[in-house]
A = this chain, B = another copy of it.
Amino acid sequence: MSLSPNAALLDKLRAHHPLVQCITNSVVPNFTANVLLAIGAAPAMTDIVGESGSFARVASGLLVNLGTPTPEQREAMEEAVIAANDAATPWVLDPVAIGFLPIRTRLAQQLAPQNPFAVRGNASEILALAGEGAGGKGVESVDSTDAAAPAAIALAQRLRTVVAVSGPEDLITDGQRIIRVGNGDELLTKVTGGGCALGALIAAFAAVRGDYAPVEAVTAAHCVYDIAAEKAAAQAAGPGSFAVSLIDALSTLTAADITTAEKIREEKVQA
């Protein structure tokens, strides 16, 4: 069996063991770090002013997650993004719960034009970043993935980046190609940080993409994460055991598992 691009990228990630810096919210650092370790990456939560930029220069990838943006973190994010761009470190923006909340919404608008490798969020967050919605209910989306598709495409074209919308079916676009990932499990929405950890995984795949297109690296992150979720859900008794099994599944998934299980659909954006 020949490996799919998603499967090949998983093998590359494990071979390269990328160092992923995360400036993330106070709820999820532990889960995020364990997801990165399980998949074979090296996490580092370096998020203080005076160190975040130095680290972003040597990191393989960077996540900037706006979940609980303290003043210290906001300044550290600016510092890290400038350094990441200077050192060609790919960085991922996760505009958590923007729309209604003023500080993170302004911050997202300020960071989004600074050349992120990818922007990920739920439908409400992507709509809000595109200026077309009021945002969701806290971290939960009140809009469907399909409703956010035109905004995601327009945003990808405008920012020249990859935009990923999480939902029952994930949508990933670079403004030209639209890839939908049909894997996953609803239990992912019952574990806090389910989406936040995916942002870190995108940074890890971005770091090892080589000749694969950015949209393919982002797709691989979703695909691997969602298939691990399916495997975990099959043996979970609820969201507690699901989260534990998800970490186990990420560490034991093989490239062959990915090739067999992936549900990918692709189309071109209509001109």
Contacts and interface: CB of A to CB of B under 8 A. Distances in A.
28 contacts: A19-B137, A25-B45, A26-B26, A26-B29, A27-B30, A30-B193, A37-B191, A37-B239, A38-B238, A38-B239, A42-B140, A44-B97, A44-B139, A45-B67, A45-B68, A46-B68, A46-B138, A48-B70, A48-B103, A50-B102, A54-B100, A54-B102, A190-B251, A238-B248, A239-B247, A240-B248, A240-B251, A244-B244
Contacts of A101: 46, 51, 54-55
Contacts of A241: 244-245, 247-248
Nearest to A138: B44
Contacts of A34: 191-192, 239-240, 243
A97 B245 CA distance: 29
Interface string A220-257: 00000000000000001111110111111111100000
A257 to B, nearest CB: 14
A243 B38 CA distance: 12
**Chain A to chain B: the 3 pairs with minimum beta-carbon distance, closest first:** A240-B247, A238-B248, A44-B138
A238 to B, nearest CB: 3
A43 B34 CA distance: 21
A100 B58 contact: yes
A175 interface: no
A243 B240 contact: yes
A53 to B, nearest CB: 10
Report which residue of A19, A21, A51 has the largest number of chain B beta carbons within 10 angstroms of its beta carbon.
Answer: A51
Given A34-B192, A38-B238, A54-B100, 6 more contacts: A30-B30, A46-B68, A55-B101, A237-B248, A239-B251, A241-B248
